[in-house]
Each structure stands twice: as structure tokens, then as C-alpha cells.
């Protein structure tokens, strides 16, 4: 009898553990990571309603949390993506710019989740030059990818070309995977990564008529003369008037440029021809038709336009196209959210919406990113997790793309590797702000010399200040008072009133560099490697 009792007890215990394990597996949340490319927070109505309504992206903030001070560690595409996947600063994972290849010996959070029993998939833009590890399924755009009739590198079908508009296609692939391939008995981690609204801003055909007729308010610093800062701001080549391409960006027909005697800016006509070359005949016709009116108006106005008016015209055109591409992103995010709601998938799923960095929408007269100034340093971040995050909540803490990997691993109950440098956002998501101790973040941008010519710099950012060191072309320091000067127009580094603050920030910056293991020697190594590659024609 004793033996039978013992056996029964062992059996019961085994059953109990099996049940608990199963429960733990079921309870592990799904993760959907939605990321767009170059999506400025100024172009999401949950942040700012002046430019566009994005009711679907806003749904995520309504259900969850909006982060007002989310930022990136290095405001450029592939380095940001590598930071997201590894939870490390760019000088540690090695992808410091778009040029260096991603070192695939790095351990990424999708690999760890896959090992822990998650089903994993990635659709859209990665931009690494190599395929992602740790994915059961992927369909990714080669390099930057194309807006119309894009090619894809796929895990199972080799290279394919799909007719249609890229934002719709990436969503179709994502929904198809959810419908047909998702396993019911496994949690999943899905990366849904848009190309839009990356340059050269081609919107979907269905939005052409509406968006080419819209007007937008101008930012207050559209005519910034860069006089208040050190030289990198004025040396950068991302001014809308001087560096935005007439045909390639603003869709002035090349033949009209010739007729009006307008000189090309950069690869102006070549880029235009490339985009046109990808269209089907009917897409080309719609595109030409939609921009014909724009060109007619421009033809009349151009001969008497002042530089100021040219800037205003280009800014308006830029906004029409850039925001037009976002309209399709928002609609497609809506399709995904509708699917999740209709299939009971919202409940146990973390849904993140973010961008690989922010973007200038005419602030400082700029487009593009790269600088540590707010519009490109900050990035949108909205997170829904029903039952865990209070609906409609908001966090002003200094969080970074560095924090995603540890957050997702903790949510999945997977041990966070000790060399990951980010911090889990879970306390913030749960409203336990007192557990969040970070007071400053570190930033380091490397891609120079390169397109847009933004000098290399590193910085410490607190809620009140930015201390920036530009170091490659010239050695210059900037101190920005974020509270008094939110538009970041004035360097107060040499203002005696800031002597104490400056001293303290220098100490903090040294501390952060030590903590994250960044050094001048390492900077030099990246410069040397870049120069070596440039000499061998690899850049």
C-alpha cells in the first residue's frame, strides 16, 4: 500500500509540474514588433496632430502606453536595427554605420526566443546585407527595397518579385503567415517591418490624388541659419532647399527641369528614372497623371520664385509625398490590428510600434536624420499589452532602442544575457516608475564621410541637457539646454552661467562611456577600418 501511495504521489506531482509548465507556456505573451523606416513622431497623431491623422497607429497608444522620450543610440538605419536585435550599443555589436556588414556571430533576441520555444517570423526591411538568424520564416527586402513591385529574399522560395505596393505586400505576407503558418500551441514573435516612409517617398496610387493636393504648416525653424551652433549643423548636406532632389525627391519631371534650366542635385534624374523603371505601365500612367498638375503649377510659378519660395514649395512637396506613404502604413497597421482583435490575439500579445529612428520634417531646414538633435534622436514608441499596461498611459522616461531585447526576453521568461546593455521596460509598462533609475542616455553616430555629411559625434542626453562632442572633422563641443531651448538653436557650452552644469555633464558622460565600454581608441579603430575600406573601393 505504501508503495502504491508513493507511486500515486509521484504521478500526481509529475502531472502537477506538467500542468504548470503548460500553463507557463500558454501564458508567455506573443510579441509583434512593428517598425517603420524613418517615421518621425511628428507624423503620428498620438504625438502631434498638425500634419496627419494616424488613427490606427494611435489605437496602440489608446490601448497601451505612449513614450514621449524614446530615442535611438545611433540615428541611422542598420545600426539601429542591430541594436534592437542585440540589446547592445553600436560600438559593441560592430554595426556602427550602414556600410559595415552585420557580424552574425552576435547573439540576437530572436535567436534566444526561438531556442526558448517561440515561433519566429520577419517580414519587410532589415537592411543588413545578410539574412536574419533565429527566424522560422522570413521574407525581407534586399537592401533598401523598392516601393513598387518589390523584390524579396525569402527563406523558402528564394528570390521573388511581387507586383504591387510595398506596404500592402509586407502586410499581406504578415497576415498570411498569421493565418496559415502560425502554430496554435506556441507563442510567437513577429517582426513586421515597413520600408515606408523612407526616401524617395512614393505613395500608393490610391493616395496620389488626395495627398498631392494637401497643404501643411511649416515648422518654425524651416529657415534656420545654423548660426547658434558649432559647424556640423551648417556643413550637413540635408537642407531641403539645397540638397533635396528636384526630380528624384520632389517629382519635377526631368524634361521640365531641362525646360526651366534647373540644375540637378545629386543623383536627381537617375533616381527618378530608377523609380519610374520599376512601375508597370498602368502605375506609370497614374503616377504621371497625378504629378502632371503639380508640374503645370510649378512651371508657371518657378521663373519668379525667390529662394524662400523655392524652399516653401519643396517643403510642401516633401510633406505631401512623405505623409502620403504614412497613410498606407497607418491603413495597413489597421488591417493587422483588426485581424488580431477578430482572432482573439490581442489579449496575450505585446504590440510595439516604433521607427528605426526619427526624421526631420523641415525642422532646421532639414530632411534625413543622423544628428542627436531631437527630431532624429527621438523615435516614436507606442506599446500595447492588454491586462498589463494601463490603457492610455504615457511615460516620459529616457528609454532607448537598446531596451527592446531585454524587455522581450523578460516578458518571455528567458534569462537576459549579462552582456546586453539595455534595460527591460517592463517596470515602466506596468506603471512601476519608481523601479526605473536611468537618468541619462548615451548616443554615438559614426557614418562620416558619407551621404548628408553629418560629422561623427557622441553625446550624453538627460531630460534637461545634451552635451555633444563632434570629433572627426573638427573637435567641437555643444551644450544644449533642452528645457529653455527646445528647438535646440543655441550652444551654451561657453556660457559661464552653465559652467557648473557643464562640469557635471562631462563627469556623467565619462561615466557612461565607461559603463558602455566606449573609448577614443575604439572610435579610431572604426575610423581606420572605414578609411581602409574606402581605399579599397568598398565604400
- Binding partner of residue 271 among Ca ion, ligand SGN, none, CB cut-off 5 to 8 Å per kind: ligand SGN
Among positions 77, 190, 337, 492, the unique one binding Ca ion when judged by CB under 5 A: 77
- Binding partner of residue 518 among Ca ion, ligand SGN, none, CB cut-off 5 to 8 Å per kind: none
Whole-angstrom distance, CA of residue 378 vs CA of residue 73? 9
Distances (CA, A) of 249 to 245, 270, 288, 326, 367: 5, 11, 14, 16, 11
- Spell out, one character per residue from 325 to 364, where the chain touches ligand SGN: x when CB under 6 A holds, - when not: ----------------------------------------
Cell reading at 206: 490610391
- Binding partner of residue 264 among ligand SGN, Ca ion, none, CB cut-off 5 to 8 Å per kind: none
Q: Name residues contacting ligand SGN, limited to 259-278 (CB under 6 A).
A: 271
Chain position whose Cβ is nearest to ligand SGN: 77
Whole-angstrom distance, CA of residue 42 vs CA of residue 44? 6
Cβ 155 to Ca ion shortest distance, Å: 24
Q: Name residues contacting Ca ion, limited to 348-387 (CB under 5 A).
A: 356
Burial class, 25, CB count within 10 angstroms (exposed 0-12 / middle 13-18 / buried 19+): middle
Q: Is 74 in the site for ligand SGN (CB under 6 A)?
A: no
The residues, ordered by sequence, that sit 6+ positions from 118 with a Cβ below 8 Å of its Cβ are: 28, 31, 186, 187, 188, 189, 412
* Cβ nearer to ligand SGN, comparing 198 with 364: 198
Q: For residues 142 and 122, is the Cβ–Cβ distance under 8 A?
A: no
Whole-angstrom distance, CA of residue 344 vs CA of residue 386? 12
Q: Name residues contacting ligand SGN, limited to 433-462 (CB under 6 A).
A: 451-452
Residue found by looking up cell 565607461 in the block: 514
- Going through 89-230 in order, the beta strands assigned E by DSSP cover 119-125, 137-141, 151-154, 158-161, 188-193
Q: Is 251 in the site for ligand SGN (CB under 6 A)?
A: no
Q: For residues 361 and 219, is the Cβ–Cβ distance under 8 A?
A: yes
Cβ 346 to ligand SGN shortest distance, Å: 30
Cβ 76 to ligand SGN shortest distance, Å: 5
Whole-angstrom distance, CA of residue 159 vs CA of residue 219? 42
- Spell out, one character per residue from 377 to 416, where the chain touches ligand SGN: x when CB under 6 A holds, - when not: ----------------------------------------
Cβ 198 to ligand SGN shortest distance, Å: 6
Whole-angstrom distance, CA of residue 517 vs CA of residue 91? 8
Q: Give the binding range for Ca ion (CB under 5 A) out of 37-45, 248-256, 321-329, 525-533.
A: 37-45
- Spell out, one character per residue from 116 to 145, where the chain touches ligand SGN: x when CB under 6 A holds, - when not: -----------x----------------x-
Q: Is 96 in the site for ligand SGN (CB under 6 A)?
A: no
Among positions 56, 73, 200, 320, the unique one binding ligand SGN when judged by CB under 6 A: 200
Whole-angstrom distance, CA of residue 302 vs CA of residue 57? 38
- Binding partner of residue 98 among Ca ion, ligand SGN, none, CB cut-off 5 to 8 Å per kind: ligand SGN
Q: Is 171 in the site for ligand SGN (CB under 6 A)?
A: no
- Binding partner of residue 375 among Ca ion, ligand SGN, none, CB cut-off 5 to 8 Å per kind: none
- Going through 263-418 in order, the beta strands assigned E by DSSP cover 349-355, 381-384, 393-395
- Spell out, one character per residue from 140 to 169, where the chain touches ligand SGN: x when CB under 6 A holds, - when not: ----x-------------------------
Whole-angstrom distance, CA of residue 135 vs CA of residue 487? 42
- Binding partner of residue 199 among ligand SGN, Ca ion, none, CB cut-off 5 to 8 Å per kind: ligand SGN
Q: For residues 256 and 500, is the Cβ–Cβ distance under 8 A?
A: no
Q: Name residues contacting Ca ion, limited to 473-502 (CB under 5 A).
A: none
Residue found by looking up cell 501511495 in the block: 5
Cell reading at 95: 554595426
Q: Give the binding range for ligand SGN (CB under 6 A) out of 147-155, 196-204, 379-387, 484-492.
A: 196-204
Distances (CA, A) of 368 to 39, 85, 454: 11, 23, 10
Q: For residues 77 and 37, is the Cβ–Cβ distance under 8 A?
A: yes
The residues, ordered by sequence, that sit 6+ positions from 388 with a Cβ below 8 Å of its Cβ are: 429, 430
Q: Is 195 in the site for ligand SGN (CB under 6 A)?
A: no
* Cβ nearer to ligand SGN, comparing 379 with 424: 379
By three-state DSSP, how is residue 331 classified? helix
Cβ 84 to Ca ion shortest distance, Å: 12
Cβ 38 to Ca ion shortest distance, Å: 4
- Binding partner of residue 200 among ligand SGN, Ca ion, none, CB cut-off 5 to 8 Å per kind: ligand SGN
Among positions 39, 91, 95, 198, the unique one binding ligand SGN when judged by CB under 6 A: 198
Cβ 218 to ligand SGN shortest distance, Å: 21
Total Cβ atoms within 10 A of residue 241: 17
* Cβ nearer to ligand SGN, comparing 312 with 357: 357
Q: Sheet of 457-462: strands edge to edge?
A: 440-445, 457-462, 465-470, 476-481
* Cβ nearer to Ca ion, comparing 382 with 509: 382
Beta pairing, strands 188-193 & 349-355: unpaired
Chain position whose Cβ is nearest to Ca ion: 77
The residues, ordered by sequence, that sit 6+ positions from 484 with a Cβ below 8 Å of its Cβ are: none
Total Cβ atoms within 10 A of residue 413: 12
**Interface residue list for Ca ion (CB under 5 A):** 37-38, 77, 356
**Interface residue list for ligand SGN (CB under 6 A):** 37-38, 76-77, 98, 127, 144, 198-200, 271, 368, 451-452
Amino acid at each position: 500500500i505504501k508503495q502504491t501511495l508513493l507511486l500515486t504521489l509521484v504521478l500526481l506531482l509529475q502531472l502537477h509540474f506538467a500542468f504548470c509548465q503548460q500553463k507557463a507556456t500558454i501564458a508567455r505573451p506573443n510579441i509583434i514588433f512593428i517598425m517603420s523606416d524613418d517615421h518621425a513622431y511628428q507624423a503620428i497623431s498620438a504625438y502631434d496632430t498638425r500634419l496627419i491623422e494616424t488613427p490606427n497607429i494611435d489605437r496602440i497608444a489608446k490601448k497601451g502606453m505612449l513614450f514621449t522620450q524614446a530615442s535611438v543610440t545611433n540615428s541611422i538605419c542598420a545600426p539601429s536595427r542591430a541594436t534592437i536585435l542585440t540589446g547592445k550599443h553600436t560600438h559593441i555589436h560592430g554595426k556602427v554605420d550602414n556600410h559595415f556588414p552585420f557580424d552574425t556571430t552576435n547573439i540576437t533576441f530572436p535567436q534566444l526566443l526561438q531556442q526558448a520555444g517561440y515561433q519566429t517570423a520577419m517580414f519587410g526591411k532589415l537592411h543588413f546585407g545578410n539574412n536574419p538568424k533565429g527566424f522560422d520564416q522570413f521574407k525581407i527586402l534586399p537592401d533598401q527595397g523598392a516601393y513598387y513591385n518589390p523584390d524579396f529574399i525569402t527563406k523558402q522560395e528564394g528570390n521573388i518579385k511581387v507586383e504591387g505596393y510595398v506596404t500592402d505586400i509586407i502586410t499581406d505576407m504578415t497576415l498570411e503567415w498569421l493565418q496559415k503558418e502560425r502554430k496554435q500551441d506556441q507563442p510567437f514573435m513577429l517582426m513586421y517591418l515597413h520600408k515606408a516612409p523612407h526616401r524617395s517617398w512614393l505613395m500608393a496610387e490610391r493616395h496620389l490624388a488626395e495627398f498631392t493636393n494637401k497643404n501643411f504648416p511649416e515648422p518654425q525653424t524651416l529657415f534656420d541659419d545654423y548660426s547658434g551652433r558649432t559647424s556640423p549643423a551648417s556643413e550637413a548636406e540635408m537642407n531641403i532647399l539645397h540638397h533635396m532632389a528636384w526630380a528624384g525627391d520632389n517629382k519635377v519631371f526631368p524634361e521640365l527641369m531641362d525646360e526651366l534650366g534647373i540644375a540637378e542635385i545629386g543623383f536627381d534624374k537617375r533616381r527618378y528614372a530608377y523609380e519610374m523603371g520599376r512601375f508597370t505601365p498602368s502605375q506609370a500612367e497614374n503616377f504621371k497623371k497625378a504629378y502632371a498638375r503639380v508640374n503645370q503649377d510649378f512651371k508657371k510659378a518657378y521663373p519668379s520664385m525667390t529662394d524662400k519660395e523655392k524652399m516653401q514649395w519643396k517643403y510642401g512637396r516633401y510633406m505631401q509625398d512623405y505623409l502620403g506613404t504614412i497613410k498606407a502604413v497607418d491603413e495597413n497597421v489597421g488591417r493587422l490590428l483588426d485581424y488580431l482583435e477578430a482572432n482573439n490575439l490581442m489579449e496575450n500579445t505585446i504590440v510595439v510600434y516604433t521607427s528605426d529612428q526619427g526624421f526631420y520634417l523641415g525642422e532646421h531646414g532639414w530632411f534625413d536624420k543622423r544628428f542627436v538633435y531631437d527630431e532624429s534622436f527621438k523615435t516614436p514608441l507606442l506599446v500595447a499589452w492588454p491586462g498589463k499596461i494601463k490603457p492610455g498611459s504615457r511615460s516620459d522616461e529616457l528609454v532607448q532602442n537598446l531596451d527592446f531585447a531585454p524587455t522581450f526576453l523578460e516578458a518571455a521568461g528567458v534569462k537576459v544575457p549579462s552582456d546586453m546593455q539595455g534595460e527591460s521596460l517592463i517596470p515602466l509598462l506596468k506603471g512601476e516608475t519608481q523601479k526605473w533609475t536611468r537618468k541619462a542616455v548615451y548616443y554615438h553616430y559614426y557614418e562620416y564621410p558619407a551621404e548628408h555629411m553629418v560629422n561623427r559625434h557622441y553625446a550624453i542626453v538627460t531630460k534637461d541637457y545634451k552635451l555633444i562632442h563632434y570629433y572627426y572633422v573638427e573637435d567641437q563641443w555643444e551644450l544644449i539646454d533642452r528645457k529653455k531651448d527646445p528647438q535646440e538653436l543655441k550652444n551654451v557650452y561657453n556660457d559661464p552661467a552653465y559652467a557648473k552644469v557643464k562640469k557635471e555633464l562631462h563627469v556623467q558622460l565619462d561615466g557612461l562611456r565607461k559603463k558602455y565600454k566606449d573609448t577614443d581608441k575604439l572610435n579610431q579603430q572604426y575610423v581606420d577600418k572605414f578609411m581602409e575600406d574606402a581605399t579599397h573601393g568598398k565604400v
